[in-house]
Protein backbone atom coordinates (compact mmCIF):
# COMPACT_ATOMS: atom_id res chain seq x y z
CA UNK A 1 0.00 0.00 0.00
CA UNK A 2 1.34 3.43 -0.92
CA UNK A 3 1.75 6.14 1.70
CA UNK A 4 -0.47 9.18 1.17
CA UNK A 5 1.58 12.33 1.62
CA UNK A 6 0.37 15.64 2.99
CA UNK A 7 0.98 18.72 0.82
CA UNK A 8 0.72 22.27 2.08
CA UNK A 9 2.18 25.52 0.80
CA UNK A 10 3.45 28.57 2.63
CA UNK A 11 5.19 31.84 1.91
CA UNK A 12 8.92 31.47 2.16
CA UNK A 13 12.02 33.31 0.98
CA UNK A 14 15.43 32.44 -0.29
CA UNK A 15 17.24 33.92 2.69
CA UNK A 16 16.29 34.47 6.29
CA UNK A 17 16.80 37.89 7.87
CA UNK A 18 20.21 37.07 9.35
CA UNK A 19 21.66 35.25 6.33
CA UNK A 20 24.85 37.02 5.14
CA UNK A 21 24.36 35.56 1.62
CA UNK A 22 21.38 37.83 1.01
CA UNK A 23 23.61 40.92 0.68
CA UNK A 24 23.76 41.78 -3.03
CA UNK A 25 21.57 38.80 -3.89
CA UNK A 26 17.91 38.62 -4.84
CA UNK A 27 15.84 37.44 -1.89
CA UNK A 28 13.05 35.85 -3.93
CA UNK A 29 9.82 35.12 -2.08
CA UNK A 30 7.77 32.12 -3.25
CA UNK A 31 5.20 29.51 -2.29
CA UNK A 32 7.17 26.67 -0.72
CA UNK A 33 5.87 23.11 -0.91
CA UNK A 34 5.64 21.50 2.51
CA UNK A 35 5.50 17.72 2.12
CA UNK A 36 4.76 15.81 5.31
CA UNK A 37 6.02 18.80 7.29
CA UNK A 38 9.29 19.17 5.31
CA UNK A 39 10.14 22.07 3.00
CA UNK A 40 10.87 20.99 -0.58
CA UNK A 41 12.96 24.14 -0.96
CA UNK A 42 15.13 23.16 2.02
CA UNK A 43 15.45 19.56 0.75
CA UNK A 44 16.81 20.87 -2.58
CA UNK A 45 18.45 24.11 -1.42
CA UNK A 46 21.93 22.99 -2.52
CA UNK A 47 20.80 23.45 -6.15
CA UNK A 48 20.20 27.21 -5.56
CA UNK A 49 16.73 27.20 -7.11
CA UNK A 50 13.32 28.16 -5.73
CA UNK A 51 9.82 26.70 -6.14
CA UNK A 52 8.14 27.86 -9.33
CA UNK A 53 4.78 28.79 -7.79
CA UNK A 54 3.54 31.90 -5.99
CA UNK A 55 5.77 34.55 -7.59
CA UNK A 56 6.29 36.31 -10.91
CA UNK A 57 3.76 37.83 -13.25
CA UNK A 58 0.05 37.01 -13.06
CA UNK A 59 0.27 35.21 -16.43
CA UNK A 60 3.25 33.11 -15.31
CA UNK A 61 1.60 32.18 -12.00
CA UNK A 62 -1.60 31.06 -13.74
CA UNK A 63 0.38 29.04 -16.29
CA UNK A 64 2.33 27.26 -13.53
CA UNK A 65 -0.89 26.47 -11.64
CA UNK A 66 -2.41 25.06 -14.84
CA UNK A 67 0.67 22.85 -15.28
CA UNK A 68 0.49 21.51 -11.73
CA UNK A 69 -3.26 20.88 -12.01
CA UNK A 70 -2.64 19.06 -15.31
CA UNK A 71 -4.88 21.47 -17.23
CA UNK A 72 -2.13 22.00 -19.79
CA UNK A 73 1.01 20.15 -20.81
CA UNK A 74 4.37 21.82 -20.84
CA UNK A 75 5.21 22.74 -24.42
CA UNK A 76 8.31 20.53 -24.67
CA UNK A 77 8.45 18.41 -21.50
CA UNK A 78 4.92 16.94 -21.79
CA UNK A 79 4.24 15.20 -18.44
CA UNK A 80 7.26 16.81 -16.75
CA UNK A 81 7.05 20.24 -15.16
CA UNK A 82 9.54 22.74 -13.72
CA UNK A 83 9.10 22.57 -9.95
CA UNK A 84 12.17 24.63 -8.92
CA UNK A 85 13.56 27.41 -11.11
CA UNK A 86 16.14 30.21 -11.23
CA UNK A 87 15.60 32.51 -8.22
CA UNK A 88 16.52 35.59 -10.27
CA UNK A 89 14.19 35.27 -13.25
CA UNK A 90 12.36 31.92 -13.17
CA UNK A 91 13.53 31.22 -16.74
CA UNK A 92 14.02 27.56 -17.63
CA UNK A 93 17.07 28.42 -19.73
CA UNK A 94 18.96 29.11 -16.50
CA UNK A 95 18.41 25.49 -15.42
CA UNK A 96 15.64 24.00 -13.31
CA UNK A 97 14.47 20.92 -11.45
CA UNK A 98 11.62 19.05 -13.09
CA UNK A 99 9.17 16.46 -11.81
CA UNK A 100 6.87 14.00 -13.55
CA UNK A 101 3.26 14.64 -12.48
CA UNK A 102 0.59 12.03 -13.08
CA UNK A 103 -2.98 11.64 -11.94
CA UNK A 104 -4.50 8.26 -11.11
CA UNK A 105 -8.15 8.50 -10.05
CA UNK A 106 -8.24 10.64 -6.88
CA UNK A 107 -4.45 10.80 -6.50
CA UNK A 108 -1.65 12.92 -7.92
CA UNK A 109 1.85 11.47 -8.04
CA UNK A 110 5.10 13.43 -8.11
CA UNK A 111 8.01 11.27 -9.14
CA UNK A 112 11.24 11.17 -11.12
CA UNK A 113 12.77 14.48 -10.01
CA UNK A 114 15.54 15.63 -12.36
CA UNK A 115 17.99 18.50 -12.55
CA UNK A 116 17.86 20.00 -16.01
CA UNK A 117 19.33 20.53 -18.56
CA UNK A 118 21.72 17.63 -17.74
CA UNK A 119 18.86 15.20 -16.90
CA UNK A 120 20.52 14.31 -13.57
CA UNK A 121 18.33 12.09 -11.35
CA UNK A 122 17.48 13.48 -7.90
CA UNK A 123 16.57 10.74 -5.44
CA UNK A 124 13.35 12.10 -3.98
CA UNK A 125 9.80 10.78 -3.89
CA UNK A 126 7.57 9.44 -5.19
CA UNK A 127 4.90 11.45 -3.39
CA UNK A 128 1.18 10.62 -3.49
CA UNK A 129 -1.38 13.35 -2.77
CA UNK A 130 -5.17 13.21 -2.53
CA UNK A 131 -6.51 15.24 -5.49
CA UNK A 132 -8.91 17.50 -3.56
CA UNK A 133 -6.29 18.61 -1.01
CA UNK A 134 -3.65 18.88 -3.73
CA UNK A 135 -5.86 21.03 -5.95
CA UNK A 136 -6.59 23.41 -3.06
CA UNK A 137 -2.90 23.66 -2.09
CA UNK A 138 -1.84 24.43 -5.67
CA UNK A 139 -4.62 27.00 -6.23
CA UNK A 140 -3.74 28.67 -2.93
CA UNK A 141 -0.25 29.51 -4.24
CA UNK A 142 -1.57 32.24 -6.56
CA UNK A 143 -0.25 35.60 -5.39
CA UNK A 144 1.53 34.15 -2.32
CA UNK A 145 4.48 36.49 -2.85
CA UNK A 146 2.44 39.10 -4.75
CA UNK A 147 2.34 39.83 -8.46
CA UNK A 148 5.48 41.22 -10.07
Q: Tens of pLDDT along 6-60?
A: 999 999 988 766 666 656 667 789 999 999 999 999 999 999 999 999 999 999 9
How many CA atoms lie within 13 Å of 23's alpha carbon, on the beta-carbon side? 3
Three-state SS annotation for 55-69: CCCHHHHHHHHHHHC
- The total of structural domains in the chain comes to 1
Structural domain span for residue 106: 25-139
Q: Tens of pLDDT along 94-128?
A: 999 999 999 999 999 999 999 998 999 999 999 99
Residue 75: inside a domain, yes or no?
Answer: yes
Residue 146: inside a domain, yes or no?
Answer: no
Backbone angles phi, psi at 117, to 5 degrees: -90, 0
pLDDT for position 18: 65
Residue 55: inside a domain, yes or no?
Answer: yes
Residue 52: inside a domain, yes or no?
Answer: yes
User: In the chain, which ranges are continuous DSSP H helix?
Assistant: 40-43, 58-68, 131-139
Amino acid sequence: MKTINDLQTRLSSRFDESDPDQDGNKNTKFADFIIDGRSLYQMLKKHDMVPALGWGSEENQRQMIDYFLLKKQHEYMYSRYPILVCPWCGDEECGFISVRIEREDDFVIWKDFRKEPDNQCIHLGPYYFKWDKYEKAINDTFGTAGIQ
